[in-house]
Structure 1
Amino acid sequence: MKHMQHFNRHCLQLLYISVMAWAVSGCSLLPTESFNFQAELPENFTISATTYYDAASGESCPGHKVVKSEQPKGTQLIELKLPLTARVKGCSRVLKSVVLNIEGQWGKRELDMSLESGALSIRDEPTETTRPFPASGPLVFQGQCQWLFRTMGPHRYIVKILQCRALDANGVVQKRLAGGSMLREGLAGRTVKLVLVEAKEERPAFGDSWVKFPAGWKRCMGKGPNDFYGFCHGKTTDFVPFKMPDGRDCTVYPNCTE
């Protein structure tokens, strides 16, 4: 009889341990709430997302957690699943913002590239700039990336700087970075899409250092051939030659020769 009682207690203990292990594993297997981020990009562009998490309401957590998500280059439609919550050392955290790291390649060399940022903000309360979700389909943010050219170094080689800005509903370029803000409520399981287009024409990085002619842009001399900025200051007759990334000597950009 005592043997049977000991056996039953042992079985109950094993059953309890098994149930607790199942419960713990079951909890760990519960899906974390997330949303899908998509980016439609021009050719030779790529994007990665850095997510920033802060303490959930009512909890005191030191610092914040940062997670970077990225996808291999060469894909014009990028898709990432971004968690809305995170738990670190027993502390619950919620997604507050997403920094979009945009990289554009303007030349054939590895260093012929430029970086720009975009941003997504997750709000708990609506604001004037918070975009509501459509009844169906993704929440779409539009943006435009502009290449700005300038010269660099004593030989005045052409280099390019990337600038990406948001577009409004009418396609007008805004001052703010590409992206936008949205409500946390209803975000789980939805898709947020950023559509970036490339501006048709390049512009000078410093507006008063180049003058546009029918054949192309000419670089002002400024205070002299070695002037870093070469501001025109109203003088539209004194210009300096420059070099293309491939080493060609040119007088107008981008056609090189008049």
Structure 2
Amino acid sequence: MTTITTTDGTDIFYKDWGPKDAPVIAFHHGWPLSSDDWDNQMMFFLTHGFRVVAHDRRGHGRSAQVNDGHDMDHYAADSAAVADALDLHDAVHIGHSTGGGEVVRYVARAAPGRVSKAAIISAVPPLMLKTEANPEGTPMEVFDGFRNGTASNRAQSYVDIPAGPFFGYNRPGATPSQSVIDNWWRQGMMGSIKAHYDGVKAFSETDFTEDLKSIDVPVLVMHSTDDQIVPYADAGPKAAALLKHGTFKSYDGMPHGMHTTHADIINADLLAFIRG
């Protein structure tokens, strides 16, 4: 397997496909998945002449199942370690859900010249958790439910999430894809239960407000009004408003995992943003 080793000794698995001199797109996956979640996008952009890179977050997929570092600062540092090892310059970084938070934290801290643009899809910034300062946020009880489901019966929870709200298969008239559900389960079960348990805190309690304000490159924010995992009103529009060079694209009726269920639409919009 292709891996890099971080300064704290964690082995991070990555994919690096396409011509080394082509424009680079780096993908950052959501909880509790892996770089495989970007299969459709990676193949699409390969056929359009790009070099595509994606890594498995620590504790996820084929990366090391370490005890520590399951927080957004380590996620961003691991992303930087991959970019440094592969010597990526002027890359476009694209993140989904938790990966969107990872992109925001990484881009806000990236060395000059590393990043040209970014896009976040159904992403967790600015802050998911309901607090006094964020009264529209999601109550802690919801995140406790994710933790309890992971700890008590991860195998069943990782069926229920994709079969229900993640892909909108619980909506009237929806036609569930068993292969999509199975692929989500497969990716989730590859990873570390501890990393997934600890990761709930990372994606739900990290405040990205200052990161968003500090980013100087163009960022495309993509969010659906029917996102049942990261509620629209407290995420996409707020994140875009905090960015210096943000572009907000709203979608109606698509699920949290819309880059999978509506890949043709999402891929085309990403391509237009990258080339624009």
Settle same-fold status: TM greater than 0.5. Answer: no
Higher relative contact order (CA 8 A, sep 6+): 2
Structure with more helix by fraction: 2
Structure with more strand by fraction: 1
Query: Bigger radius of gyration, 1 or 2?
Result: 1
Sort the TM-score into its range (normalised by shorter chain): under 0.3
